[in-house]
Amino acid sequence: MLLGRDAERDRIERLLADAKAGQGGALVVAGEAGIGKTTLIQDAVGGSTGMRVLHAVGFESEAELPFAALHLLLYPFLDRLPQLPAPQAEALRGAFGLADTGDANPFLIGAGTLTLLAELAAESPVACIVDDVQWLDRGSSEALLFAARRFRADPIAMVFGVRETAVPFPTPGIEWLRLPALPRDAAGGLLDGALPGLALPVRERVLDEAQGNPLALLELGAARLSAQRAGTTEQVHEVGPLPATRRVQDAFRAQISALPADTGLVLLAASADGTAPLDTVLRVARALGADGTALDAAEAAGLVTAEAGRIAFRHPLVRSAAYQRATHHQRIAAHRAFAAELAAAGDADRRAWHLAVATAEPDEDVASELERTARRAEKRGGAMAVSAAYEHAARLSPDADPRARRMAKAAHAAYDAGRPDRAARLAAEVITLTADPGTVAAAMHLRAQVEYERTSPAADAALALDAARVVLDTDPEGAVSILTEVVGAGRDGAAADLVAEGVRLLRDLKLPSGSPLTLPADAQIGWGELLAGRPAEAAAPMRALIRAATAEPVDYLHRIVAGFSALMLADDDAALAVMETMLDEARAAGALLWIPYSLELVALGRALRGDAVDAQAGVEEGVALGTELGMDTEVAVLRTVGVWTAALLGDEDRCRALAAEAIPVAAQRHPVGAAIASWGLGLLDLAAGRYAEAVDTLHAVCTGPVAHDMLVRAVPDLLEAAVRNDTADRAAGPLVRLHTWAEHAGSPLASALSLRCRALSETDADTADEYFRAAAEQHTRHGGRYEQARTRLLHGEWLRRRRRRTEARAELDAALTAFEHVGAARWAARAAAELAALGEPAHRRQASDDPLARLTPQEYQVVKLAATGMSNKDIGAGLFLSPRTVGHHLYRAYPKLGVSRRAELARFVAAHELPNG
- Rounded to a whole number, what is the distance in angstroms from the first to the last CA of the chain? 55
For 522-565, write each residue's pLDDT tens digit.
999 999 999 888 898 899 999 999 999 988 777 888 899 999 99
For 750-762, write each residue's pLDDT tens digit.
999 999 999 999 9
Q: How many CA atoms lie within 13 A of 898 on its CB side?
A: 9
C-alpha–C-alpha distance, residues 196 and 528, integer Å: 81
Confidence category of residue 916, pLDDT binned at 50, 70, 90: very low
C-alpha–C-alpha distance, residues 99 and 88, integer Å: 13
Which of the given ranges, 305-314, 338-347, 615-624, has the highest pLDDT on average? 615-624
Report the pLDDT averaged over residues 205-220. 86
C-alpha–C-alpha distance, residues 19 and 885, integer Å: 13
Report the pLDDT averaged over residues 815-825. 90
Residue 162, SS3 per DSSP: strand
Q: How many CA atoms lie within 13 A of 756 on its CB side?
A: 30
Over 90: is that where the pLDDT of 891 sits?
no
Residue 161, SS3 per DSSP: strand
What's the pLDDT score for residue 139? 86
Share of the chain above pLDDT 70, in %: 95
Residue 17: partners with Cβ closer than 8 Å, 6 or more residues away: none
Over 50: is that where the pLDDT of 237 sits?
no
Over 60: is that where the pLDDT of 73 sits?
yes
Report the pLDDT averaged over residues 611-626. 90
Q: Count other Cβ atoms within 10 Å, centred on residue 24.
A: 26
Q: What is the CATH code of the structural domain delimited by 852-912?
A: 1.10.10.10
C-alpha–C-alpha distance, residues 720 and 618, integer Å: 29
Q: At what angle do helices 457-470 and 496-508 cross, to 10 degrees?
A: 30
Cβ 862 vs Cβ 889: under 8 Å: yes
3-state secondary structure 350-374: HHHHHHHHHCCCCCHHHHHHHHHHH
What's the pLDDT score for residue 236? 45
C-alpha–C-alpha distance, residues 4 and 551, integer Å: 66
What's the pLDDT score for residue 101? 63
What's the pLDDT score for residue 618? 92
- CA torsion through residues 515, 520, 522, 528, sign: negative
Task: Note if the pTM is more than 0.85.
Answer: no
Of the listed ranges 212-226, 298-312, 606-620, the one predicted with least confidence: 212-226
Report the pLDDT averaged over residues 387-393. 93
What's the pLDDT score for residue 239? 45
What's the pLDDT score for residue 917? 43
Largest CA distance in the chain: 112
What's the pLDDT score for residue 655? 96
6-178 and 852-912 share one fold: no
Over 90: is that where the pLDDT of 495 sits?
yes
Q: Kindly list the domain boundaries of the chain, sorted by start residue.
A: 6-178, 184-256, 259-356, 435-512, 747-847, 852-912
Report the pLDDT averaged over residues 567-596. 89
Nearest C-alpha neighbor of 591 from the set 826, 878, 311: 878
Q: At what angle do helices 106-121 and 872-879 cross, to 10 degrees?
A: 140
Instruction: Quickly list DSSP for 765-815.
Output: HHHHHHHHHHHHHHHTTSSHHHHHHHHHHHHHHHHHHTT-HHHHHHHHHHH
Report the pLDDT averaged over residues 18-28. 92
Residue 576: partners with Cβ closer than 8 Å, 6 or more residues away: 602, 605, 606, 609
Of the listed ranges 247-256, 316-325, 422-431, 843-852, the one predicted with least confidence: 843-852
C-alpha–C-alpha distance, residues 743 and 320, integer Å: 73
DSSP β-bridge partners for residue 312: 305
Over 60: is that where the pLDDT of 233 sits?
no
Q: Which CATH class is domain 6-178?
A: alpha beta
Phi and psi at residue 304, to the nearest 5°: -140, 165
Over 80: is that where the pLDDT of 228 sits?
no
What's the pLDDT score for residue 251? 85
Amino acid at 299: E
